[in-house]
């Protein structure tokens, strides 16, 4: 009987850990579609949504690509 309780406890801990990290059920909402454009604050610096494990990588990748295009254009103008 004790073995059964230990197995159930481990299963519950595993499910809770997966839910907390977001790996249990990935969100299918518009926020993960890749169509979101990061906003900028009043000083022109980009702002990113903060998630449980840091910033949203799709927003960061999009901003990096935008900055790489700007750098490329500036180098081409020289």
72 and 58 fall within a common domain: yes
CA atoms of 49 and 67, how far apart (whole Å): 18
| CA end-to-end span of the chain | 77
pLDDT at position 13 is: 92
Instruction: Write down the pLDDT at residue 36.
Output: 54
* Domain membership of residue 24 as a residue range: 1-29
One domain, residues 42 and 67: yes
Q: Which residues contact 63 (CB under 8 A, 6 or more apart)?
A: 38, 46, 48
Per the model's pLDDT, the better-predicted residue between 74 and 20 turns out to be 74
pTM equals: 0.42
Higher pLDDT, 3 or 19: 3
pLDDT tens for each residue of 11-63: 999 888 877 776 655 554 445 444 455 566 677 777 777 777 777 788 888 98
Does residue 25 sit in the same domain as residue 40? no
């Amino acid at each position: 009987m004790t073995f059964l309780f230990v197995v159930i406890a481990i299963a519950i801990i595993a499910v809770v850990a997966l839910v907390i990290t977001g790996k249990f059920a990935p969100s299918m909402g518009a926020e993960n579609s890749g169509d979101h454009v990061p906003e900028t604050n009043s000083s022109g610096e980009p702002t990113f949504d903060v998630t449980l494990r840091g910033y949203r990588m799709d927003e960061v990748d999009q901003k990096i690509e935008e900055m790489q295009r700007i750098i490329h254009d500036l180098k081409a103008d020289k």
